[in-house]
Amino acid sequence: MKFPFYRGEGIQRKVESQSILPVSIRSQLLKPEYYIADPGLKDACNVALLLGQPLLLTGEPGTGKTQFAYSLAWELGFDLPLKFETKSNSTYRDLFYTYDALKRFQDVQLGNNVATQALDYITYQALGMAILQTRDRHEVAQFLPSDFPDFDKKRSVILIDEIDKAPRDFANDLLNELEQNMYFRIPEFGNVKIECDPELQPIVIITSNSERDLPDAFLRRCIYYHIPFPNGERLRNIIDHRLGMNVSDPFFRSLLGLFEQLRDRQSGLKKKPATAELLSWILVLEKFNIISDGSQRNLDLILSTLSSLIKTTEDREKAEKIVKQWIEEQKQKTTT
């Protein structure tokens, strides 16, 4: 079997319609209903909810930190979480809103007197949006730009992603904001204070790739959970739940064995494949009918699917060696 779509031979083929390219199945995977939380994570989350403290999640990339926020919002019946992507120059104010002074300046410069209302140059960000949405619309109408979407009074989940990217002060400043009843001020409006409804405090989920760069004071204020890499049983559970595959199939088990082998310290891989990569890898294998076919003929194809699992050249060589060895074993197993 060849790669069905792209041949790289410099020959263009007439294709009937573009739609024969597959829809990304991976995006399906990200649906919150497929998420299975670690039991510890479940408890940690409940503690955070009970105490009303932010939940800080760490863990290897690909263990589902970000996913968790979506799953939480989904299970609680909330709208999608409001996500704040941390940048290396984020300041805490960016969490609430951004104010485009430059554009306003330009507009004024150009003499467009049409829109000189400060309001129109404000874009609310995750936390600001969440706080506004805890109030009735008429209470905060004065702060809303004209194009602000309609909303009902509601509670939301806020996801502050990869906080370790931000400068050190960011986390410390954030503390103050999260500590008491949330509010923010907009100096551009003469420092009005916009407070959130204490009943509807937003639920804050913070993720970080390494806890070490976070200040102690910040760590102390959070409920913390490190998502461990799922072990064999849980991994099968996840796959079963997300992909609906028959995980008890011996061939499938040995595939998982291969995956664990790759993750093993002895494999010497620098960047170990994570759950997310495993899922997409299995999807690829499925596409090539390797799994359902269940056997030897296509085993060699596995090598060509490795790119969904292994991301660096250095690792690739090592991984290929392991996979080849594994394929040999499989072939022997079936012949004997």
Partner 1 sequence: MDRRTETENDNLDWLNPDLLIEFIDQLRASGYKIDISKYIAAQDLILILIGRGENLDSPESLRSLLAPIFCTSPTEQAEFQYHFDNWVKYIGQSRFTTIGEKDGLQAKKPIKSRSVLVILSLIFIGFTGTYIFSIPKPLTPPPPIPETKPKTKATCQPESQSTKPKKPKPLQPKPTLPQTPIVKGPLICIDKIDISINWSLGLVFFFTPFAVFWIGKLSWFLLARRLFLQRYGMTEQPELHHISIAGVEQDLFPPAIFIQTARNLRRRIPIPCDRLDVEKTIEKSLSRWGWFTPIYRSYQVIPEYLFLVNRNSFQDHQAQFVEEMIDRLKQDKVLITSYFFDDDPLICFPSDGQGTPMRLDEIVSKYSQYYLVVVSDAGKFFSPISGELESWVSQLILWKDHAVLTPKPQSNWGDQEDELEVEQEFILLPATPEGLRDLSQRLSGKVYNPPISQDNGLDFSPLPEMLRLRPRRWLERNSPEPEKVVMMLDLLAEYLGKDGFYWFCACAVFPELQWNITLYLGDVLKTEEGKSLLESCSLMNLTRLPWFRYGYIPDWLRVYLIEALTQEQDQSIRIALRNLLDRVNQTSEGGLTLSIATKPLKNQSDKFFSQLTQIFSGRVSENSPLQDYLFLDFMTKPSPLALRVPEKFGGLVSKSQKSGSEKGKINRRRFLEMLGLGIAGFVSVIAGKRAFETRTLQLTKGCETFQFDVLTVNKQGQIISRRPGQAKSFVEQLGNNVTLEMVEIPGNSFTMGSPLGEKSCYDSEQPQRVVNVSAFLMSKFTVTQAQYQQVMGKNPSYFKGEKRPVEQVSWDDAVEFCKRLSQKSGGKYRLPTEAEWEYACRAGTTTPFYFGETITSDLANYNGNYTYASEPKGKYRQETTDVGSFPPNAFGLYDMRGNVWEWCQDTWHENYEGAPTDATAWITEKEDSSRVLRGGS
Q: Which residues bind partner 1 (CB under 8 A)?
A: 39-40, 43-44, 46-48, 50-51, 53, 55, 58, 89, 101-102, 105-106, 109, 167-169, 211-212, 216, 219-226, 228
Smallest separation (angstroms) from partner 1 to the CB of 211: 5
| CB-CB contact of 252 with 291 (8 Å) | yes
Smallest separation (angstroms) from partner 1 to the CB of 51: 5
CB nearer to partner 1: give 89 or 304: 89
CB nearer to partner 1: give 98 or 296: 98
User: Measured between alpha carbons, how far is 255 from 244 in angstroms, rounded to an integer?
Assistant: 16
| CB-CB contact of 137 with 114 (8 Å) | no
CB nearer to partner 1: give 34 or 189: 189
Q: Which residues pair with 224 in a beta bridge?
A: 56
Smallest separation (angstroms) from partner 1 to the CB of 241: 21
Smallest separation (angstroms) from partner 1 to the CB of 41: 9
CB nearer to partner 1: give 48 or 157: 48
CB nearer to partner 1: give 45 or 283: 45
Task: Name the 3-class secondary structure at 227.
Answer: strand
Smallest separation (angstroms) from partner 1 to the CB of 35: 19
Q: Which residues pair with 159 in a beta bridge?
A: 83, 205
108: part of which helix (H) or strand (E)?
helix 101-109
CB environment 63-96: b (16+ within 10 A), e (fewer):
bbbbbbbbbbbbeeebeebbbbebeeebebbbbb
